Amino acid sequence: PIQSGIQPNDIQAVIDADKNHVWHHLIQHKPFETVDPRIMVEGRGMRVWDATGKEHLDAVSGGVWTVNVGYGRESIANAVRDQLVKMNYFANSAGSIPGALFAQKLIEKMPGMSRVYYSNSGSEANEKAFKMIRQISHRHHGGRKYKILYRDRDYHGTTLATLSAGGQPQRAEQYGPMAPGFVKVPHCLEYRNQFPDAESYGEAAANAIEEVILREGPDTVGGLCLEPITAGGGVITPPEGYWPRVQEICRKYDILLHIDEVVCGVGRTGEWFGYQHYGVKPDFVTMAKGVASGYAAISCTVTTEAVFEQFKDDPSDPMSYFRDISTFGGCAAGPAAALENMRIIEDENLIENTQAMGARMLDNLRALQDKHAVIGDVRGKGLFLGAELVSDRTSREPAEEKKVQAVVADCMGQGIIIGATNRSLPGFNNTLCFSPALIATADDIDRITDSVDQALTRVFG
Ligand code: PLP
């Protein structure tokens, strides 16, 4: 039950205030003329309650893969409170106790990495990496190695530079012109076979990146930015052989490898970081959402010492440092929350739980695939899974978007919140997405997949 203290007669006032004054992210507002916006009032563990008192089991960790340790964590709230009362903020040219301690703990989880640059969102963390790659190009390659490669269907953020590196076309539509110097490479989704003659699909998909590098001129390409497992673009797990070849290509052409762990990072896939499944050694790793599970705004751009060294090698040069600031990247609430978030993941063995519950969910989804012809493909790792819906298994024609949305709505009616790939992927809005908190139990997992079973039966027969 809701314990928020909001009385039923106050709820309408809150809804009216929201309707009249809040500009919500990523949705059209016209429907609010006839339907009230949903206001989330309280959360505990895997469950949230909205202002009507309805209980939901959240299978998407706050909508966008964020609340990794679940709702209502008093110890995180207390850690943030204690830090704010003691020392809330000083610009990050100075340090903070949680900032220093979290950086050290994080680096312990990331062998080969060395430095943590703090900011506030995934977009910002990625933009910092882009700027570092550009500055390295200016400082060490006469400004020539300025191009940054990104992949079709990947998403790296909402600012103009990160949108320019975005592989989901509708997100950029009507916001052009985009920033120059970002170049697209093909995605690696084996189910949407782009390389039918390949002996190794993974190597062929990586070789397609090399072709773009050769076309652009290797001495003009400074960075390659990839999600380890593509999130909103369709939960795309890399095919066998992909990452080793990507690493080889980056080394061959002296291209810095930037892995965007904004979704996959901090346990989501059953390792601390998604790239750690594939033995790859990145130059940059960015992360945000699960770092503090939504209890505070924090993101990190993590680099190797070799990258960092390139910014401090000439003290006599006034340009030889990273000339960038993020005001709130100095707010101590972020790393205070992140430290406690990490302690919870370790003490409650949530990585192990993610592996076990992820395997259970994958099995359940595969059983649904045997039962429902509309499920063409099931993929993902840990508690980061997707089921691609098709209207025909042979042609693999994507299922109609409105039917996919009807499945999501049916589950919502059953009190289960699931997700689907967003409308920014014309023709590919057809993957159901699941990312419950890392605390999910077997019962939670079974309830989620049971609701999908029922919804698929009702929508597709
Ligand atoms: N990178 C990935 C892979 C994401 O999925 C997102 C957001 O969904 C971002 C970056 C951008 O993060 P933010 O919304 O915190 O700016």
Q: Hey, is 152 helix, strand or coil?
A: coil
Please check whether residue 236 lies inside any domain of the structure. Answer: yes
- The token duo for 209 is 């990146």
What pLDDT is recorded for position 461? 86
Measured CA to CA, the distance from residue 52 to residue 49 in angstroms comes to: 8
64 lies in the same domain as 200: no
Segment (H or E) for 338: helix 333-347
Query: Which letter does DSSP use for residue 255 in this model?
Result: -
Q: Are 384 and 351 in contact (CB under 8 A)?
A: no
* 460 membership: H or E segment, kind and range: helix 442-460
Report the C-alpha dihedral over residues 152, 157, 159, 163, rounded to 10 degrees.
10
Q: How many CA atoms lie within 13 A of 325 on its CB side?
A: 9
Q: Which residue puts its alpha carbon closest to atom 10 of ligand 1?
A: 156
Separation of CA 113 and ligand 1 centre (Å): 21
Pocket probe mutation, ligand 1, options 66, 156, 226, 273, max atoms within 8 Å of Cβ: 156
Measure 287 CA to ligand 1 centroid, in angstroms.
9
Question: What would the two tokens of residue 46 be?
Answer: 């895997």
Give the DSSP per-residue string, 206-247.
Answer: HHHHHHHHHHH-GGGEEEEEE-SSBSTTT-BPPPTTHHHHHH
234 lies in the same domain as 341: yes
Looking up residue 379, the CATH number of its domain turns out to be 3.90.1150.10
Q: Alpha helices, DSSP H only, in 217-332?
A: 242-252, 305-309
Asked whether residue 89 falls in the same domain as residue 133, the answer is yes
Query: What distance in angstroms lies between residue 155's CA and the mean position of ligand 1's atoms?
Result: 7
Query: Relative to the CA of 126, which ligand 1 atom is closest?
Result: 10
Clarify whether residues 335 and 365 are in a common domain: no
Q: Contact, 236 vs 187, CB < 8 A?
A: yes
**Using CA positions, which residue lies closest to atom 12 of ligand 1?**
122
Among 187, 199, 106, which Cα is nearest to 153's? Answer: 187
Q: What single letter denotes the amino acid at residue 176?
A: G
Nearest C-alpha neighbor of 457 from the set 382, 375, 388 = 375
Q: Is 107 exposed, middle or buried (0-12, 13-18, 19+ CB in 10 A)?
A: middle
Per-residue tens of pLDDT for the chain, all 461 residues: 455 556 666 888 889 999 999 999 998 999 999 999 999 999 999 999 998 889 999 999 999 999 999 999 999 999 999 999 999 999 999 999 999 999 999 999 999 999 999 999 999 999 999 999 999 999 999 999 999 999 999 999 999 999 999 999 889 999 999 999 999 999 999 999 889 999 999 999 999 999 999 999 999 999 999 999 999 999 999 999 999 999 999 999 999 999 999 999 999 999 999 999 999 999 999 999 999 999 999 999 999 999 999 988 677 888 889 999 999 999 999 999 999 999 999 999 999 999 999 999 999 999 999 999 999 999 999 999 999 999 999 999 999 999 999 999 999 999 999 999 977 677 778 999 999 999 999 999 999 999 999 999 999 98
d(CA 286, ligand 1 centre) in Å:
10
Is 176 found in the same domain as 256? yes
* Residues 375 and 343 reside in one and the same domain: no
Domain boundary among 332, 347, 362: 347
Instruction: Residue 376: name the closest of 456, 268, 305 by CA.
Output: 456
Instruction: Quote the tokens at residue 355.
Output: 């592996």
In a domain, 328, yes or no: yes
Tell whether 418 is covered by a domain: yes
Do the domain assignments include residue 3? no
Q: Which domain holds residue 401?
A: 8-69+350-460
Smallest Cα–Cα separation from 358: which of 333, 335, 378, 337? 378
Is residue 236 within 8 Å of residue 228, measured between CB atoms? no
Q: Longest Cα pair distance anywhere in the chain, in angstroms?
A: 72
* Residues 102, 91 share a domain: yes
Q: Are 307 and 116 in contact (CB under 8 A)?
A: no
- What's the token pair of residue 170? 């509708």
Place of tokens 């790296």: 156
Rg (CA), the chain: 22
Q: Quick check: is 1 in a domain?
A: no
Residue 326 sits at φ, ψ, to 5 deg, of -130, 105
Q: Position of tokens 């990495």?
A: 113
Domain termination residue (choose one: 347, 363, 381): 347
pLDDT, position 5? 57
Quote helix, strand, coil % in the chain, to nearest 5. 40, 15, 40
Assign residue 271 the CATH number of its domain: 3.40.640.10
Say yes or no: 191 and 294 in one domain.
Answer: yes
Which residue ranges have their beta carbon within 6 Å of ligand 1?
A: 64, 121-123, 126, 155-158, 227, 231-232, 260, 262-263, 288
- pLDDT score of 147: 98
* Count of domains observed in the chain: 2
Residue nearest to atom 14 of ligand 1 (CA): 122
Residue 2 is assigned to a structural domain of this protein: no
Q: Does 237 share its domain with 303?
A: yes
Q: Residue 87 in contact with residue 332, Cβ under 8 Å?
A: yes
Let me know whether 316 and 373 are in one domain.
no
pLDDT at 4: 55
Q: Rounded to whole angstroms, how far apart are CA atoms 218 and 221?
A: 5
- Distance from residue 367's CA to the centre of ligand 1 (Å): 31
On whether both 312 and 171 belong to a single domain, the answer is yes
Ligand 1, pocket-test mutation among 225, 230, 289, 425, most atoms within 8 A of CB? 289
Please state, as a whole number, how many other Cβ atoms lie within 10 Å of the Cβ of residue 86: 12
Q: Are residues 209 and 117 in the same domain?
A: yes
Which of 280, 313, 347 is a domain's end point? 347
Residue 248 three-state SS: helix
Q: Which atom of ligand 1 is nearest to the CA of 289?
A: 15
pLDDT at position 1 is: 46
